[in-house]
């Protein structure tokens, strides 16, 4: 079983979610632990990340054989997710 690695940004974002959306996101995170490349996920061009959508939110992550690392969780129709991802890319 993979280990889930949530970053500080992801945890902070989840803390502010309403209960229903929080449950949706958590359910998707556990599903990604079992299958990190489901049919509804997509590799992001120019980044080593994949993305998965759940409701109105987007989960940006990487995975290995032993871990699932969540880089960001954000609004699905919001360009801020990708702007933040670009800022993250410069630091890593």
- CA angle 19-52-67, nearest 5°? 90
Tokens in use for 45? Answer: 């061009």
Q: Determine the topology of domain 3-91 in CATH.
A: YaeB-like fold (3.30.2310)
What residues does each domain of the chain span? Answer: 3-91
- pLDDT tens figures, 59-89: 999 999 999 999 999 887 767 777 887 877 6
- The predicted model scores a pTM of 0.87
C-alpha 51/C-alpha 44 separation (Å) is 7
Residue 52 CB: number of other CB atoms within 10 A?
19
C-alpha 8/C-alpha 81 separation (Å) is 15
């Amino acid at each position: 079983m993979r280990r889930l690695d949530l970053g500080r940004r992801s945890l902070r974002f989840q803390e502010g979610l309403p209960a229903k959306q929080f449950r949706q996101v958590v359910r998707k995170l556990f599903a990604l632990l079992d299958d990190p490349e489901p049919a509804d996920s997509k590799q992001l061009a120019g980044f080593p990340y994949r993305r998965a959508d759940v409701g109105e939110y987007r989960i940006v992550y990487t995975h290995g054989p032993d871990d699932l690392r969540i880089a960001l969780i954000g609004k699905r129709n919001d360009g801020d997710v990708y702007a933040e991802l670009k800022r993250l890319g410069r630091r890593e």
